[in-house]
Structure 1
Amino acid sequence: MSDTPRLHTAGTTLLERARELRPLVEREAEAAEAQGKLTDPVVDALHESGLFGVWVPVQLGGAELSPKELIAVFEELSYADASTGWVLMATTLENGTAGAYLGDDAVERIFKGPRMPVFAGQGTRPGSAVREDGGFRLSGQWSFASGMPHAQYAHSLGAVEGTDEVRICITPIEDVTMLGNWDVLGLRATGSIDYAIDGAFVPESQSHVFTQDEPLRGGAIYRLGLVDQALICHSGWALGVGRRLLDELRRYAGARAGRPGQIAGSDAFHADFARAEAKFRSAGALVHETWNDAERTLDAGGRLDVRQETMVRLALNHITSTLAEVARFVYASGGTSALRDGLIQRLFRDVHAGTAHITSGPQVLQECGRELAGLAPGESWLVFALES
């Protein structure tokens, strides 16, 4: 097991590289949406900049950013394009946790190449894993595999037959049948297709228990476990997309200043914009406050307690619901410019796809309220619910 009690921090180098990619990502966004996946120039740039390694343990050649550093990188790329930020957050969560939790044999096979491997898949509804000598036979069908068109490995949840155990199983992309049905309202460029696996053999070292929270390599961030690390992803994404929406509306209004009948001269619009800005900044401040607190605990060698786990879930739920409000306000204020094909329309559609994710579902909010109200004594978080 890891003997590193502290968080690893890597500084701002990768954030600066993400910022440098903004012109390319923005330029390619329309083509990516049309083809239903990121364009080759963007994927190549993410590799060349090292951004696919932001979550991978340092000893495997990754950057192993801290939670706050990850949030900043995902915010930056999501500001440039919601789909690009989404693909990076999903794939790096999966290759980072694989690097931390898989056995040595698997890691030697998977992380030996000149490029960081890209993972895609789904870790909620499980397929079937039948135990076999040395591993498992994995079968099933999964949805929402963000980044699958660019992946070399699939990350899939499997329920071990005859037991209560569920495991993340890693399979080479050659074992995957891509079903290709990604015809959706928003986040079209994420390529989050459905896929199937039929009886692929998964060596034991190429899997790990879903709830694993003690890393075999890497530092304190991996003590969060897979689910709490996923909250980092979606928090950074919401911060970037919300900021871009408000900035685009500011530009839209400013371009129409001085014209009669435009929102730039409306007192009601001025007040509504101030309210939207305040709500969004407040929700973002809660995200940063909760992860600052979480980092202090992790860096001291501890694990999050129940209240801290409640707060990181609540912070994500709040920034996500606030993002949905901001998107509706920006779309309504954008008039026919928002109605037509363009950036505001695309952002509006992307938000309504992204805010439907299970990590910000209504059950999570209800459970947060129950714990905060003191109505869950002796209970702890298991994925998105509190249990005794």
Structure 2
Amino acid sequence: MPETTATIAPTESPRGTGRSRRLHVSDEFDGVMARIAEIAPMIREDGPAGEDLGRPTPRVLEALKEIGVFRAMLPREVGGFEFSPRQQLQLMEALSWHEASTGWTVLGVIDQTALVAAYVDDIAVDEYFGDGFAIFSGQGTRPGRGRRVEGGYVISGEWQFNSGSSVSTHLETAVVGDDGRFVMATLPREKSTDVDNWDVLGLRASSSHDYRVDEVFVADTHTYDPVDGVARRGGAMFDVGLAYLATLQHAGWALGVCKRLLEEIRLLARQKASRRGASTSTDQFYAAYASMEAQYRSARAFLLELWGDVERTVDAAEAPSAEQISLMQLGTVTANRTAQSIATEVATWAGTTLIRKGAIQRYFRDAYTGVEHLVCSPPVQQAVGKQLSGSAAEGARWVFYDLVESAGQS
């Protein structure tokens, strides 16, 4: 059974926005997961074709839209399902289990779209979600430039890794204004230029190419403050923190990769069982497989435990502590390092199957690509360790993926 959390009746936010401060657990979750299981054969079948196209196939994207996958995190006020964090974790695991690049494509847009819906002004929300349904991709870790003008900013810049661009209609992109403000600016994709440079080891079907914007006006109503901004819509999930909702997606993605790698090596072992001298019929392989299974299940249990704790915290209208934020990030690092470790072990036992086109090779490449993301980087892991070990300065706090300590302390 999928793990869930009880929904408690909403209360008005003490911050004056009128939004609920209670955690919502969606009744749509089981139905969405069941429909994903129904289309799983198609998602898997189209995996190789997606690599050739550089994006998931049109029929896969259309099926995901029909199911409502792109509405999973969206606040209920704008027609979304508003999955809880643990529901979202399991959604990403399921999608990536069936096809890693498809999962990454969803990862690239699902939280971006939800955050825009939760934070921007009513004027922008009416434009984006009133009569239709905008889908956002973009980049928030390397800001562009904003020139302050009356009513907004004229933005320019170049950004990397626009994951999910094959399905997005709009951009959410980081900008630092010449007035010193750091904002997320939203705009139609048609006002940007794609850079065709997604020639990579893995995740080839995720369309994570770069993009640039040249002198485009974005009104203040279509921006929001990602550091100190207050969510206008959505429940307690949006009190987790913008960066850590993105971290959550990467954790679920890695679990799906682990699960598929284990499935594929089991299948290969059965296929080779009748062959004399097959390495996958040895006691050494059995022990290695048991270790891989334990790694995956341990990472998954850790994530469900820590996110359950976070859910209880935000449901009580409290902000996650520095330790909880450290654990959120540690869970994602652990899941991705586990996927990398399992990929390496599977490669040891796959033999020549690894070097030929197929799911094992594809997932090996995907695991080694996904783990290179910022959320899994050594500096993040080091900062997490510093905070959890008690070595950080008193009062140290997280700002996105940086552990900020008081001046004069280390």
With over 3 angstroms needed to count, the CA separation of the structure-2 counterparts of 1:202 and 1:74, relative to structure 1, is same
Match of 1:234 in 2: 250
Count of matched residue pairs: 386
Conserved in 2, the CA contact under 8 Å of 1:213 and 1:225? no
Match of 1:260 in 2: 276
Structure-to-structure mapping, 1:90-109, within 5 angstroms: 90-109=108-127
Secondary structure, aligned partner of 1:140: strand
Greater mean deviation of Cα atoms: 103-112 or 259-268:
259-268
Conserved in 1, the CA contact under 8 Å of 2:138 and 2:163? yes
1:72-107, CA deviations, whole angstroms, 9 ceiling, x for partnerless residues? Answer: 111101001001111112201110000000100000
Is it true that 1:329 corresponds to 2:345 in the alignment? yes
Conserved in 1, the CA contact under 8 Å of 2:72 and 2:81? yes
Q: CA deviation at 1:212?
A: 4.2
Q: CA deviation at 1:132?
A: 1.1
Q: CA deviation at 1:201?
A: 0.7
Match of 1:117 in 2: 134
Secondary structure, aligned partner of 1:169: strand
Secondary structure, aligned partner of 2:270: helix
Match of 1:308 in 2: 324
Q: CA deviation at 1:2?
A: 4.0
Is it true that 1:76 corresponds to 2:68 in the alignment? no
Q: CA deviation at 1:213?
A: 5.5
Match of 2:335 in 1: 319
Alpha-carbon distance between aligned partners in 1 of 2:395 and 2:280, rounded to the nearest angstrom = 53
Conserved in 1, the CA contact under 8 Å of 2:92 and 2:253? yes
Alpha-carbon distance between aligned partners in 1 of 2:229 and 2:350, rounded to the nearest angstrom = 45
Alpha-carbon distance between aligned partners in 2 of 1:311 and 1:274, rounded to the nearest angstrom = 26
Alpha-carbon distance between aligned partners in 1 of 2:229 and 2:305, rounded to the nearest angstrom = 23
Consecutive unaligned residues of structure 1, counting only runs of 5 or more, are none
Amino acid corresponding to residue 85 of structure 2 in structure 1:
P
Structure-to-structure mapping, 1:214-229, within 5 angstroms: 214-229=230-245
Alpha-carbon distance between aligned partners in 1 of 2:26 and 2:353, rounded to the nearest angstrom = 41
| RMSD, aligned α-carbons | 1.2
Alpha-carbon distance between aligned partners in 2 of 1:158 and 1:56, rounded to the nearest angstrom = 23
1:306-356, CA deviations, whole angstroms, 9 ceiling, x for partnerless residues? Answer: 111111111111111111000111122111111111110000111111110
Conserved in 1, the CA contact under 8 Å of 2:280 and 2:349? no
Find the partner of 1:42 among 60, 63, 75. 60
Greater mean deviation of Cα atoms: 79-88 or 270-279:
270-279
Greater mean deviation of Cα atoms: 309-318 or 16-25:
16-25
Secondary structure, aligned partner of 1:285: helix
Structure-to-structure mapping, 1:1-388, within 5 angstroms: 1-11=17-27, 12-114=30-132, 116-163=133-180, 165-212=181-228, 214-376=230-392, 377-388=394-405
TM value normalised by structure 1: 0.97
Secondary structure, aligned partner of 1:150: coil
Amino acid corresponding to residue 88 of structure 1 in structure 2:
V
Greater mean deviation of Cα atoms: 83-92 or 262-271:
262-271
Alpha-carbon distance between aligned partners in 1 of 2:174 and 2:18, rounded to the nearest angstrom = 24
Alpha-carbon distance between aligned partners in 1 of 2:386 and 2:285, rounded to the nearest angstrom = 37
TM value normalised by structure 2: 0.92
Alpha-carbon distance between aligned partners in 2 of 1:168 and 1:135, rounded to the nearest angstrom = 12
Amino acid corresponding to residue 169 of structure 2 in structure 1:
Q
1:50-80, CA deviations, whole angstroms, 9 ceiling, x for partnerless residues? Answer: 1110111101011111000101111101001
1:145-190, CA deviations, whole angstroms, 9 ceiling, x for partnerless residues? Answer: 0111322101111011131x21111110111111111111100100
Alpha-carbon distance between aligned partners in 2 of 1:185 and 1:2, rounded to the nearest angstrom = 47
1:103-153, CA deviations, whole angstroms, 9 ceiling, x for partnerless residues? Answer: 000000011234x32211111000001111111111000110011132210
Identity across matched positions, percent: 36
Alpha-carbon distance between aligned partners in 2 of 1:134 and 1:265, rounded to the nearest angstrom = 69
With over 3 angstroms needed to count, the CA separation of the structure-2 counterparts of 1:320 and 1:162, relative to structure 1, is same
Conserved in 1, the CA contact under 8 Å of 2:107 and 2:164? no
Q: CA deviation at 1:264?
A: 3.1
1:269-315, CA deviations, whole angstroms, 9 ceiling, x for partnerless residues? Answer: 11111111112211221111110110111111111011111111111
1:25-48, CA deviations, whole angstroms, 9 ceiling, x for partnerless residues? Answer: 111111111010111111111111
